[in-house]
Amino acid sequence: MTEKLVSPLLPHIQGYVAGRWLTTKGTSASAVHNPATGQLLASVPSTSALEVEQAIEAGKLLLAEPPSLEQRSAWLATIATQLQTHADELGRIITLEHGKPWREGKAEAVYAAGFFKYCADNIQELAPRRVDRGARTDSWTVYHRPAGVVGLITPWNFPLGMIAKKLSAAIAAGCPSIIKPASKTPLTMIALFTLLDRELTFPAGFVNLALGSPSVIGKVLCEHPDVPVLSFTGSTEVGKQLIEATKHRVKRLSLELGGNAPFLVFADADLELAADQLLANKFRGGGQTCVCTNRVLADASIADAFAALVRTRVAKLKVGNGLDADTDIGPLIDRAGWEKVHAHVTDALRLGATLVHGPKATEPEGNVKAFYPPTVLGKVNAEMACWKEETFGPLVPIAEFGSEAQAITQANDTEYGLAAYVFTRDTARAERVIARLQFGHVGWNTGSGPTPEAPFGGMKESGYGREGGLEGLHEFTEVQVVTHP
């Protein structure tokens, strides 16, 4: 069944190369479905390898005369304004192709606008900088040059938020870009390009949209000598493949990869606050975010009390279509997502976990098979799949610890190091624990995630590079130092 997505922001369902919408039809296309209903929203034609190469060539020509900092700032400010203006409709498109509640989709558009505004407001950080003379008589000037044509590859879970982090920094650096969105959620990106094409005066080739097969598009981006930088958000497995595929070109990679976030609750914590923050953190996007809690670690003396508080709150959540005003949790992105969550729950119960909240037996309903009820497990241990792997769904597994040292050891018991959360009223303890946690982002008495004003990125196998903040502003620049009398 088809429910074609009709939107004023989607007059074209095509890629965008060298300042024009592609018209090729071809036989290769990606079907985009509404995960809440299973209905087909659109069939999106794939961009060919030749068209990706044409986009790179168009971008390369622009590097001879990069736009001024003032022009870049004006572009960034305009994009921020347009995202704010069209937040309602962008949120609706996000909800239809992703499934998250509409209020979350709208909030994502506003969040995305923040990255463009931050880069616009701080563009002078990329201006040439004179270095004071030292013992030598020469002087030095530091320039931040555009690194070149950059490849930006984004995941499906934040179809607008993730590209905002990358594209804002690329524009600020003066870099032409080739953008490859996830095939499950390309419509939001197409809507963004409608605004870029309609409201801005980018030179042809400065922003390009490639749709379809990651193997086709990724191969060109990895192998082409005129794409010196790739920024990727996605799984650690794919990140490692990109490292291998680009090693012969010595390309610079910025990688935000998998997570396995611990949520530490000490005995002296404000348990009500911790429970509220856990729900806000865990169930955003249906638990399909790389920074959401994957393992709750609670002091054994308060674990049962905390689990009871979480259970009371989870029991009030409504699962349903994201367009319904009272929906708290939408569907998972597809059947494979449902299967993974179910496998983690089944495995944990088999290995001795207790069911704190959730159905004793869960089977997919109807034709959609993507809705999974929020589930809370107790007595979780390190042998269970939900401890070792990122669940990416509405599952809250609660484990216990007996000491501060044990809590730190358990939290760090993962190859990932993206985000962690610590709840304690003891400032000294918070400082001790956080300093020993091997995670790039740590929330203390809050479950909040990244912000445009601060750098975000991972440690260990969660990747390297930073997005947001002044550090992210430099992600697509090359530093050149000029010595002069």
In this predicted model, what pLDDT tens digit does every residue of 154-184 receive, in sequence order? 999 999 999 999 999 999 999 999 999 999 9
> Would you tell me how many other CB atoms lie within 10 Å of the CB of residue 37?
19
- Indicate whether 273 and 166 sit together in one domain: no
Active-site residue identified among 222, 290, 292, 386? 290
**DSSP H/E element including 142:** strand 139-146
- Indicate whether 243 and 285 sit together in one domain: no
Range list of H helices, 290-441:
303-314, 335-350, 385-388, 404-411, 427-436
What integer is the mean pLDDT of 434-440? Answer: 98
What residues have CB less than 8 Å from 428, skipping those under 6 apart? none
pLDDT of residue 365: 55
- Indicate whether 200 and 124 sit together in one domain: yes
Give me the residue label for tokens 């995941």: 155
CATH of the domain at 431: 3.40.309.10
What integer is the mean pLDDT of 250-266? Answer: 97
Q: Give per-residue pLDDT as tens, 359-412.
A: 866 565 555 568 999 999 999 999 999 999 999 999 999 999 999 999 999 999
Q: Give per-residue pLDDT as tens, 337-347.
A: 999 999 999 99
Look at the pTM and tell me if it is higher than 0.75: yes
**Taking Cα atoms as reference points, which of 418, 455, 482, 432 lies closest to residue 142?**
482
Which pLDDT band, with edges at 50, 70 and 90, does 485 fall under? confident
**DSSP H/E element including 442:** strand 441-444
- Indicate whether 37 and 170 sit together in one domain: yes
**DSSP H/E element including 41:** strand 40-45
Whether residue 1 is predicted with pLDDT greater than 50 in this model: the reply is no
- Indicate whether 351 and 217 sit together in one domain: no
What CA–CA distances, in Å, run from 333 to 391, 428, 450? 13, 41, 22
d(CA 261, CA 79): 32
- Indicate whether 206 and 275 sit together in one domain: no
Phi, psi of 145 (to 5 degrees): -90, 150
| 11: in domain | no
**For 267, which DSSP code?**
T
**CA dihedral angle for residue 358, residue 363, residue 367, residue 368, rounded to 10 degrees:** 40
**For 204, which DSSP code?**
T
- Indicate whether 478 and 434 sit together in one domain: no
CATH of the domain at 244: 3.40.605.10
pLDDT of residue 132: 78
Q: Which of 29-43, 70-84, 89-103 has the lowest mean pLDDT?
A: 29-43
d(CA 195, CA 482): 39
What residues have CB less than 8 Å from 280, skipping those under 6 apart? 447
| 354: in domain | yes
| 2: in domain | no
Q: Give per-residue pLDDT as tens, 295-314.
A: 999 999 999 999 999 999 99
CB 458 within 8 A of CB 289: no
What integer is the mean pLDDT of 61-81? Answer: 98
CA gyration radius, the chain: 23
Phi, psi of 50 (to 5 degrees): -65, -40
**Taking Cα atoms as reference points, which of 50, 220, 75, 47 lies closest to residue 149?**
220
Range of the domain at 295: 261-453
- Which is more confident, 1 or 223? 223
- Indicate whether 158 and 282 sit together in one domain: no
Q: Give per-residue pLDDT as tens, 460-484.
A: 999 999 999 999 999 999 999 999 8
Structure tokens belonging to residue 358: 């959730």
Please provide the average confidence, as pLDDT, over all residues in the chain. Answer: 95
CB 348 within 8 A of CB 120: no
pLDDT of residue 174: 98
| 88: in domain | yes
pLDDT of residue 22: 96
pLDDT of residue 27: 58
**For 467, which DSSP code?**
B
| 361: in domain | yes
- Indicate whether 287 and 424 sit together in one domain: yes
Active-site residue identified among 51, 97, 256, 467? 256
Q: 86-110 in b/e burial notation, b at 16+ Cβ within 10 A?
A: bbebbbbbbbbbbbbbbebbbbbbb
Sign of torsion over alpha carbons 130, 131, 133, 137: negative
- Indicate whether 167 and 287 sit together in one domain: no
> Would you tell me how many other CB atoms lie within 10 Å of the CB of residue 148?
21
Whether residue 50 is predicted with pLDDT greater than 80 in this model: the reply is yes
What integer is the mean pLDDT of 57-61? Answer: 98
- Indicate whether 380 and 249 sit together in one domain: no
| 225: in domain | yes
pLDDT of residue 256: 98
d(CA 434, CA 419): 11
pLDDT of residue 138: 77
pLDDT of residue 60: 98
- Indicate whether 175 and 65 sit together in one domain: yes
Give me the residue label for tokens 């870029």: 196
Sign of torsion over alpha carbons 310, 315, 319, 325: negative
**Taking Cα atoms as reference points, which of 192, 208, 400, 209 lies closest to residue 295?**
400
290 is catalytic: yes
d(CA 20, CA 4): 23
d(CA 446, CA 450): 12
Looking only at Cα atoms, what is the longest distance across the chain?
A: 77
**Taking Cα atoms as reference points, which of 205, 266, 254, 270 lies closest to residue 52?**
205
How many domains are there within the chain? 2
Whether residue 62 is predicted with pLDDT greater than 70 in this model: the reply is yes
> Would you tell me how many other CB atoms lie within 10 Å of the CB of residue 367?
10
d(CA 429, CA 427): 5
Q: Give per-residue pLDDT as tens, 311-324.
A: 999 999 999 999 99
